[in-house]
């Protein structure tokens, strides 16, 4: 059965979730604007033919940017009763209210695509000029505040900052965080099947960290020194790295003739140094035994030995050697053999693999998209094609769910989900009009 027949179209899903220039991931469960969701969703608006709306998504996300450059993981544009922890728990005093952590900055890479693939050149140039300075400050913030010792490996302070909330990678580091010492009421488990959501054990620690940030007034030095959770997240490192490369390319190519290299010369110099540090520093995270990269608990000083999609994202960043890429390509074959509906967030052979529970085994389409791009760029077209087909099968089996059971293809989590619809529009089943306009502008399809 084709699940799309009796469901909303992908474009309708975006329209349903549009709350006025920003798109909620899904109604009810996630009623605000999320950082990497917004970026991925902008690609959906682009592919649906609404370029102005795509750029608007980015502008509205940047309304939440802090003075220090951070772009938060949630921007609370409006009120909603259905989400915990809301703005009052984060306690960030600014307008619009926001959370106090960030998320994988896929934003810059998306802006490069919006700029290159947009048909309305005047709009693209105007919007790039308006948004680029903020995104440069965002990347400078990441390297400055999250890698003050110049290891080349930025760190995260919360599992939510990875966007892969409940990944087995974070089990070890989270055990070093005490539980929060207060009562609270979760909203998520009333909205979706609790067996797909994190346990109370994790939530108690998630909320402890939220309070910890507030109590320490978000002071960068104090957090780096004292945060009980400090992890070098290989996915964050990889996505940041590619975003920085894309930002530099946008400035150097300067297709809009904005004089970007002159205006941002110092920033670009600093970002290039950061790229060089990561190219070297990331090698400390390679596991020859497992054949992929790993995250690292920077407090306990141990590698987190779990084979997850995070550890393959260095392909997207272009920071793996050719030999490392081959090893990861081999791993992917086996991965898809055992769980065919998208590359599962955790390798199916892992003892912690749970095909339905949040980030412990289901598949997410935007991660699959990044993996397919990485494979293609390393010359592994066969793997890239397989990933794309496996992702198409998820949509065919279940429609626009938040994520998918990687063994059965069943849709899980929230329904009518923006980033899944966006990936369908942009990557998996693009409308003919979008494919034709890409072909006319000479943009090649990545996979």
| Interacting residue ranges for ligand GLC, rule: CB under 6 A | 25, 30, 34, 36-37, 163, 165
In the complex, least distance from residue 106 CB atom to ligand GLC, rounded to whole angstroms: 11
**Residue among 117, 233, 402, 424 flagged as catalytic:** 402
Is 402 one of the annotated active-site residues of the chain? yes
In the complex, what is the shortest distance from the CB of residue 411 to ligand GLC, in angstroms, rounded to a whole number? Answer: 14
Q: 293 near 287, Cβ under 8 Å?
A: yes
Query: CB 149 → ligand GLC: shortest distance, Å?
Result: 27
Count CB atoms within 10 A of the CB of residue 300: 14
Beta-carbon contacts of 248 under 8 Å, excluding residues fewer than 6 positions away, are 268, 271, 272, 275
- Distance of alpha carbon 324 from its chain centroid, rounded? 23
- 18 or 117: whose CB is closer to ligand GLC? 18
Q: Is 6 a catalytic residue?
A: no
Question: Which is closer to ligand GLC, CB of 30 or CB of 115?
Answer: 30
The answer to whether 238 touches 316, Cβ cutoff 8 Å, is: yes
- Alpha carbons 372 and 344: distance in angstroms, whole number: 13
- Which lies closer to ligand GLC via its Cβ, residue 86 or residue 118? 86
Could you tell me which of 438, 414, 441, 410 has the C-alpha nearest to residue 425? 438
Which is nearer to ligand GLC, 286 or 364 (by Cβ)? 364
What is the nearest approach in angstroms of ligand GLC to the Cβ of residue 381?
28
Rounded to whole angstroms, how far apart are CA atoms 418 and 94?
27
Question: Minimal distance in Å, beta carbon 344 to ligand GLC?
Answer: 15
Among candidates 138, 73, 87, which has minimal Cα distance to 108? 138
Half-sphere exposure (Cβ direction) of 48: Cα atoms closer than 13 Å = 23
Query: Which residue in the list 125, 165, 279, 377 is annotated as catalytic?
Result: 165
Cα-to-chain-centroid distance, residue 337:
25
Closest to ligand GLC by CB, 165 or 279: 165
4 CB neighbour count, 10 Å cutoff:
17
**Structure tokens of 195?**
């067996």
User: If you compute the radius of gyration of the chain from its CA atoms, what whole number of angstroms results?
Assistant: 20
Give me the least distance between CB of 30 and ligand GLC, in Å please. 5
Give the chain's largest Cα–Cα span: 59
Nearer to ligand GLC, 161 or 246 (CB): 161
Go through 74-99 and write b for each residue having 16 or more CB atoms within 10 A of its CB, e for each that does not. bbbbeebeebebbbeebbbeeebbbb
Q: Catalytic residues, which ones?
A: 165, 402
């Amino acid at each position: 059965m084709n699940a799309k027949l009796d469901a909303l179209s992908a474009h309708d899903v975006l329209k349903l979730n549009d709350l006025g220039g920003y798109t909620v991931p899904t109604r009810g469960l996630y009623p605000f604007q999320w950082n990497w969701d917004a970026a991925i969703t902008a690609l959906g608006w682009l592919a649906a033919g609404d370029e102005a709306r795509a750029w608007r998504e980015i502008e509205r996300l940047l309304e939440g940017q802090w003075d220090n450059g951070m772009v938060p993981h949630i921007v609370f544009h409006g009120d909603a009763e259905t989400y915990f922890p809301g703005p009052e728990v984060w306690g960030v005093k600014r307008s619009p209210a926001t959370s106090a952590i960030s998320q994988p900055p896929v934003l810059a890479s998306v802006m490069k695509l919006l700029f290159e693939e947009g048909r309305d050149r005047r709009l693209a140039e105007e919007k790039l000029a308006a948004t680029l300075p903020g995104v440069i400050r965002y990347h400078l913030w990441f390297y400055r505040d999250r890698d003050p010792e110049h290891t080349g490996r930025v760190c995260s302070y919360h599992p939510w900052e990875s966007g892969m909330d409940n990944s087995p990678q974070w089990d070890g580091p989270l055990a070093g965080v005490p539980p929060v010492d207060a009562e609270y009421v979760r909203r998520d488990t009333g909205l979706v099947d609790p067996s797909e959501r994190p346990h109370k054990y994790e939530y108690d620690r998630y909320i402890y960290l939220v309070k910890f940030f507030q109590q320490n007034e978000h002071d960068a030095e104090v957090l780096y020194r004292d945060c009980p959770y400090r992890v070098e997240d290989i996915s964050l490192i990889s996505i940041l790295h590619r975003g920085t490369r894309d930002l530099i390319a946008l400035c150097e190519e300067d297709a809009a003739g904005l004089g970007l290299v002159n205006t941002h010369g110092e920033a670009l110099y600093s970002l290039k140094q950061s790229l060089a540090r990561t190219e070297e520093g990331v090698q400390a995270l390679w596991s020859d035994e497992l054949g992929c990269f790993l995250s690292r608990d920077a407090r306990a000083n141990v590698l987190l030995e779990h084979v997850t999609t995070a550890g393959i994202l260095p392909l997207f960043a272009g920071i793996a050697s050719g030999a490392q890429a081959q090893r990861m390509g081999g791993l992917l074959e086996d991965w898809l053999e055992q769980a065919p509906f998208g590359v599962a967030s955790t390798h199916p052979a892992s003892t912690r693999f749970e095909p339905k529970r949040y980030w412990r085994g289901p598949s997410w389409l935007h991660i699959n998209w990044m993996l397919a791009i990485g494979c293609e760029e390393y010359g592994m077209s066969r793997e890239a094609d397989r990933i794309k087909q496996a992702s198409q099968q998820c949509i065919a089996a279940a429609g626009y769910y938040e994520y998918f059971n990687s063994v059965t293809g069943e849709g899980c989590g929230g329904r009518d989900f923006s980033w899944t619809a966006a990936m369908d529009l942009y990557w998996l089943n693009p409308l003919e009009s979008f494919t034709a306009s890409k072909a006319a502008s000479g943009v090649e399809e990545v996979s």
